[in-house]
Amino acid sequence: MADNKSLTELEVYCKATECGIGDKLYASVLIGDLQEAAERSSHAVGYGTDFLKENSMCWIILRMHIEIDRLPEWHETFKIRTWSTGLEKLYYGREFEVYDSKGNCIGKATSTWILADWNTHRPVIASKRPELPPCVAESDKKVFGTNCPKIEFPDKSDVAGAADKPVIIKYADYTELDRNRHVNNSRYTAWAYDALFKSGYDVSAVKEISINYNSEVKQGEKVELYIADSGEKLAVYGYKDVDTKVFAAELKLG
């Protein structure tokens, strides 16, 4: 575990409206909770959302890998611990641990982020922005011992033939949009679960999720989802505008 003096803790209560079949917290909600903890931690070291927006910057998550021993249950209170591993070139690393009320670690995650221009979403070079405080790693501990993995994302033509239809189609309707008026990245995990569920997979058995984010989805846009099953893992790919890559997720069942 990271030094308690250099991490942020967020206590979360698991509500019925955030649970699915079996009264287990949706994995997509857990990922949203992890990012809430990340925002709180960033604020504590001077990189909070309000400060960044005042300076025309924002955080953008590029990828996350999470391993789940078990999902929290309805009525359960759990705790998220998170810390920054600092800046490497343009990339900021952030680690997470999830604990139940008895102090058992029930999940771990690692993630990679960039600071980006608010309007263009192009990466910001921190050394050229004097208004930014020094970026100091809160801990060098990496929960899996490595950086967050990058997923190979094939072109749509390599996943689906001309006659193949998507497993499921999702739309950026009102309740899918976040405060920035685009689909929040945590929803892509929910969409991946929907695609697997519709195809008959036991999504309650998912123990590992790797997800990479390529393109944002704005109001009214649609995303087509396709599944690739290698036997060892399941992959869900999302495309919009015919062949624009939105997200790639790899999931392993326990």
What total number of domains does the chain contain?
2
Per DSSP bridges, beta strands 57-68 and 105-117 are antiparallel
Which pLDDT belongs to residue 2?
44
Check whether residue 160 and residue 124 sit in a common domain.
no
Per DSSP bridges, beta strands 77-88 and 168-171 are unpaired
Whether 113 maps to a domain, the answer reads: yes
Check whether residue 35 and residue 122 sit in a common domain.
yes
Q: What is the mean pLDDT of residues 73-97?
A: 96
Which pLDDT belongs to residue 1?
39
Look up the CATH number of the domain holding residue 52: 3.10.129.10
Q: Phi-psi category of 170—alpha, beta or left, where left has phi over 0 and alpha has psi -120 to 50?
A: beta
What are the backbone angles phi and psi of residue 204, rounded to the nearest 5°?
Answer: -70, -15
Whether 142 maps to a domain, the answer reads: no
Q: What is the mean pLDDT of residues 228-244?
A: 95
pLDDT above 90 as % of the chain: 88
Closest CA to 27 of 84, 67, 79: 67
Q: In which domain, by residue range, is 214 found? A: 156-253
What are the backbone angles phi and psi of residue 207, rounded to the nearest 5°?
Answer: -115, -20
Q: State how far the alpha carbon of 31 is from the alpha carbons of 2, 7, 12, 98, in Å.
A: 20, 18, 12, 11
Check whether residue 122 and residue 13 sit in a common domain.
yes
Check whether residue 161 and residue 123 sit in a common domain.
no
